[in-house]
A and B are shown apart, each in its own frame.
Chain A
Amino acid sequence: MSDAVRTTALFKRYGPQVAVAEVDLVVPAGSFAGLVGPNGAGKTTTLSMITGLLRPDGGEAHVDGHHVWRDPLQVKARIGVLPEGLRLFERLSGRELLLYNGRLRGIPKPEVERRADELLEVMDLTAAAGKLVVDYSTGMRKKIGLAAALLHNPSVLFLDEPFEGVDPVSANTLTEVLRRFTASGSTVIFSSHVMDLVERLCDWVSVMSGGHIVAQGPIDEVRAGRSLNQAFLDLVGGPQAATGEGLGWLGSAERR
């Protein structure tokens, strides 16, 4: 199986702070991959560098075998991106946003309109299609963002925290769409720190901590019999549970 994404020694620093330290991320084509790690592990920075939005200080990234920084035309036609922070053209309506995005990529207008209307339907946004994105709720924004990322039928989809702040109904819609997408052989890479979700959805997982990849592979291999949450805590070495000394004052016993 070929790799949808492969980075070699990808490196980024902000001043003295090393955000991503020589990351070798591998995601096989057709997988539903989770990139997990605690806050500040470098997930967003890594995804930004692979999608060509942030210039790395060292290392290389390939998408479908194309070099991200030397062959941007090939790479950008193949990827769909939903970055963190819901940054969209807010003064367009949902439908206008999709149309703009599709035509930006040179898809003929009638075809863009057809796809946009179908996506709006699937995402349950038809009623809100005429409203400005600035008035959308978080869940609606994630859905319209995902629709925009899917519109040109990319082969690799990058999603940064797609489920953060999304209500269960919208989250279900998102996962259904993504499942269908990967079932056809396309690749999804999403970052998250909700372990249950990753465990439920993904067949491949990469664990990041402190700018490094600490584990990577098929999810059952990484789990090795534990729950993903336990495996994750073992890998990133979270602090010991608050059982011993300290915090003795906390709780009803001490309150008067």
Chain B
Amino acid sequence: MNTVALFAGLKLRLITGNLRGDTARQVGFAFTLILAAGAAVGGFALISLLRLAPADLALAVVTLLYTALLVGWMIVPLMAFGLDDTLDPARLSLFPLRTGVLAVGMFTASATGVWPVATLVVTAGALVGLASGIGGVLVGLLSVLVHFALCLVASRLVTTALSGALRSRRGRDALAVAAIAVVLLFQLPNLLMNRGFGDPAGMLHDMAGALRWTPSGLAAHAIADGGLAGLGEVAVLAVVVLVVGWLWIKALGRALVTADSSTQAASVRRESGLTDRFLPDGLLAAVVSKELKYVRRDPRYRILWFAAVAVVLVMAFSFTGQGMSGAGLPIGLTAFCGMMIAIQLGNAYGIDGRSLWMNAVAFGSQRQFGLDLAGRHLANALIALPVLLLVAVASALFAGEPGAIGWALAAGAGVLGVGFGVGSVTSVLVPYTVPERMNAFTGAAPGQGGQAFGCALLAFTGVGVLSAPFAIAAAFGAVWVLAFAPLYGLAIEALGRALATKIGFVRMPELLEAVSRPT
């Protein structure tokens, strides 16, 4: 009991200490609190309402939800590794703690926090939604607690078991990109539903049936069954928790004594000098070739590009699912793709981050600053234009409107230019740090979530408003205006770049500070 109180207190201290004297973090934490409280109350209410639904449907929904919670607990901290605010066992390895005490302590620390409490509340919602009679509630209560424990222990097992791989750079790079794939995987059922495969209720039952004997299925059924059968299911679940917990302790013991796997990296290829063949020697060529290398090598860029293309694919699915066809499909889709790509540069200096001083210490004039920005746009356009062409051709052929390829490409290029222009301004007005370890939930350093949100909002609004004339004209049949879209985009890009150069050069120290936040 002593250990529990000690570790719970330690974790609380860590949380509050993290907030001290930093308003931005405090606001961020308040936001998290509201979000978690909302999720907890909303989740609890929704599950409670299942009481009104037919019993078998309610059971199926709870089974699915429990599974989602469990899988979420296993995957989310993994993708957020590094931002995970539970206690790092490595820090405790020098204290003379027996394994049992350490395990109880780590478990307590895992259970202390905003999200664990929210999870517990949501899980407990099933008591209202499913349980029948006093016996049912009592067995259900046990079931809820054990399933909650399973979430925590499984989560710790996964992170601990993979911590070795996560310590090497290549492992982290791979994981960062894998994270986005997982997010897409979660979208899959959504997409399928959108396409209207089968009847949703039947699908729900099928999935719940398949999950019947998984730990989450057992937990859900235990609450619904109550009585001895329920008790039996809880007992099985408890054994699972113990086994997973035992595995975790073993993994922990091994992780604590395994050295960091240092990377014996291979050399990168010498640059081909392709950009130098087309561009005059100087700052612009240097920036373009550096940016192109970064897009290839930095996992954060890989994530951004991967995500942009993936979102376009998802949109394509839902456009066609909604029966959209004709020339509007390729034009709309390519324009959307242009925006998604351009928005990546809405915080152009964020990924440079702490390295940006190298530019700052070399740039003594506005001209240099502007050339740097132009180089970034050029490098991205070099990749974006082929992608846009591909999207335009594929979607036009799919829609059976090969004549629209040209219009679609023009629209895409126009939006790309507008996006670059708007993005230049947001980059210098609301810059924020993009953490090295980007995860699927936040693309900003702790405490800068507001800036990231504001930046994205500003960028999307700006692109929307500035592209609106063309969008409206095209929607009313005047497709020919799109012929001027690339020129318009170029003009906005130049304008935005000029404005950003003026603001950014003066604000360089502030810019540097905003993108150099510890992550």
Cβ–Cβ contact A104 & B359, under 8 A = yes
The CA-CA distance from A138 to B290 in the complex, in Å, is 23
Check A54 against B169 for contact (C-beta < 8 Å): no
| Assembled-state Cα–Cα distance A54/B352 (Å) | 17
Interface-forming stretch among B247-255, B278-286, B418-426, B468-476?
B278-286
Q: Using Cβ atoms and an 8 Å threshold, which residues of chain A touch B364?
A: 72-77
Q: Does B358 contact A (CB under 8 A)?
A: yes
In the complex the two chains form, is A53's CB within 8 Å of B169's CB? no
Closest B residue by C-beta to A87: B354
**Whole-angstrom distance between the Cβ of B519 and the nearest chain A Cβ:** 13
The answer to whether B509 and A104 have CB atoms under 8 Å apart is no
Whether A131 touches B265, Cβ cut-off 8 Å, given contacts A53-B360, A55-B509, A99-B286, is: yes
Assess A106 versus B282: contact at CB under 8 Å? Given A54-B509, A91-B293, A91-B298.
yes
**Complex: A81 Cα to B276 Cα, angstroms:** 27
In the assembled complex, the Cα of A91 lies from the Cα of B355 at a distance in Å of 11
Q: Which of B90-98, B108-116, B267-275 participates in binding chain A?
A: B267-275
The size bracket of the interface on B is 35 or more
* In the complex, residue of chain B having the shortest beta-carbon distance to the beta carbon of A89: B355
Closest to A128 in B: B267
A91 touches B509 (CB 8 A): no
Flag if B268 contacts A93 (CB, 8 Å).
Answer: yes
CB-nearest residue of chain A relative to B360? A53
Contact of A87 among B265, B286, B287, B355 (CB under 8 A): B355
Q: Find the A residue at minimum CB distance from B284.
A: A103
A-chain residues with CB within 8 Å of residue B360 when the two chains form the complex = 52-53
Q: Which chain B residue shows the least CB distance to A83?
A: B357
Shortest Cβ distance from B351 into A: residue: A91
- Distance in angstroms from B87 CB to nearest chain A CB is 26
For residue A109, CB closer than 8 A to chain B, the reply is yes
| Cβ B281 vs Cβ A104 within 8 A | no
Q: Is the CB of B297 within 8 A of A132?
A: yes
Question: Which B residues are in CB contact (< 8 Å) with A83?
Answer: 357
CB neighbours of B322 from chain A (8 A)? none
Query: Which of B360, B363, B364 has the most chain A CB atoms closer than 10 A to its own CB?
Result: B364
Please measure, in the bound complex, the distance between the C-alpha atom of A87 and the C-alpha atom of B362, giving whole angstroms: 15
Partner of B362, one of A99, A104, A108: A104
Minimal Cβ-Cβ distance residue in A for B352: A89
B210 proximal to A (CB < 8 A): no
Q: Is the CB of B265 within 8 A of A135?
A: yes
A91 touches B294 (CB 8 A): yes
Assess whether A51 is interfacial by the CB under 8 Å rule: yes
Closest approach, in angstroms, between the C-beta of A30 and any C-beta of chain B?
22
Does A226 sit within 8 A of B, measured CB to CB?
Answer: no
**Interface residue from A92, A93, A109, A130 paired with B276 (Cβ < 8 Å):** A109
> In whole angstroms, what is the CA distance A75 to B363 when docked?
10
Q: Which residues of B contact A75 (CB under 8 A)?
A: 364
A108 touching B361 in the complex, CB below 8 Å, given contacts A55-B510, A91-B297, A99-B286: no
Q: Measured between alpha carbons, how far is A106 from B364 in the docked complex, in Å?
A: 12
0/1 string, B314-333, CB within 8 A of A gives 1: 00000000000000000000
A134 x B169 contact (CB < 8 A) = yes
A165 on interface, CB distance cutoff 8 Å: no
A148 within 8 A of B: yes
How many chain A residues have a CB neighbour from B under 8 Å?
A: 39
Evaluate contact between A87 and B510: CB separation under 8 angstroms. no
Q: Indicate whether A105 sits within 8 Å of B362 (C-beta atoms), given known contacts A87-B355, A92-B290, A100-B286.
A: yes
Q: Does A235 contact B (CB under 8 A)?
A: no
Residues of B within 8 A of A (CB): 169, 263, 265-271, 276, 281-283, 285-287, 289-290, 293-294, 297-298, 352-355, 357-365, 368, 508-510, 512-513, 516
Contact across chains for B358 and A130 when beta carbons are under 8 A apart: no
Known: A53-B361, A132-B265; 10 extra A-B contacts, CB below 8 A, are A55-B510, A73-B365, A76-B363, A89-B352, A91-B297, A93-B268, A100-B290, A109-B276, A129-B267, A131-B267
Taking CB atoms, residues of chain B closer than 8 Å to A76 are 361-364
Q: Which one of A93, A103, A106, A129 has the greatest number of beta carbons of chain B within 10 Å?
A: A103
Inter-subunit contact A88/B355 (CB<8 Å): yes
CB distance from B209 to the nearest CB of A (A): 48
| 3 cross-chain pairs, A with B, having the tightest CB-CB distances, nearest first | A130-B267, A73-B364, A103-B286
**Cα–Cα distance between A100 and B282 once the two chains are bound (Å):** 10
Give the distance in Å from the alpha carbon of A96 to the alpha carbon of B353 in the complex: 18
Chain B CB within 10 Å, residue with most, of A81, A100, A130 = A100
Cα–Cα, bound, A140→B290 (Å): 21
Q: Which of B265, B286, B293, B297 has the most CB of A within 10 A?
A: B286
- Pair B509/A53 contact, Cβ less than 8 Å: yes
Q: Which residues of chain A (37-80) have a CB below 8 Å from chain B?
A: 51-55, 72-77, 79
Task: Say whether B363 contacts A103, CB under 8 Å.
Answer: no
Residues of A within 8 A of B290 (CB): 89, 92, 96, 100
CB-CB nearest in chain B for A79 = B361
Bound-state CA distance A73–B367 (Å) is 11
Q: Which residues of B contact A104 (CB under 8 A)?
A: 283, 286-287, 358-359, 362, 368
Closest to B271 in A: A96
Q: 16 A-B residue contacts at CB 8 Å? A: A52-B361, A53-B360, A72-B363, A88-B355, A89-B352, A92-B293, A100-B290, A101-B362, A104-B283, A104-B286, A109-B285, A129-B267, A130-B267, A130-B270, A132-B297, A135-B169
Determine the chain A residues whose CB is within 8 A of the CB of B269 once the complex forms.
130
In the complex, chain A residues 107-134 whose Cβ is within 8 Å of any chain B Cβ: 108-109, 129-132, 134
Interface membership of A185, Cβ < 8 A: no
> Are B509's CB and A85's CB within 8 A?
no
- Cα A131 to Cα B169 in complex, Å, equals 13
For A133, the closest partner residue in chain B by CB is: B355
In contact, B365 and A72 (Cβ under 8 angstroms): yes
- Please tell me if the beta carbons of A81 and B357 are within 8 angstroms of each other in the complex: yes
In whole angstroms, how far apart are the Cα atoms of A87 and B433 in the complex?
14
Cβ of A90 within 8 Å of any chain B Cβ, yes or no, is yes
* Residues of B with C-beta under 8 A to A103: 281-283, 285-286
Q: Name which residue of chain B comes closest to A81, CB basis.
A: B361
B283–A130 touching, CB < 8 Å: no
Shortest CB-to-CB span from A99 to chain B, Å, is: 7
B268 touches A89 (CB 8 A): no
Residue numbers in A under 8 Å from B294 (CB-CB):
89, 91
**Which residues of B are found within 8 Å of A55, using beta-carbon distances?**
509-510
B268 cross-chain contacts in A, Cβ below 8 A: 93, 96, 130-132
Kindly list chain B residues whose C-beta atoms are within 8 Å of the C-beta of A89.
Answer: 290, 294, 352, 355, 358
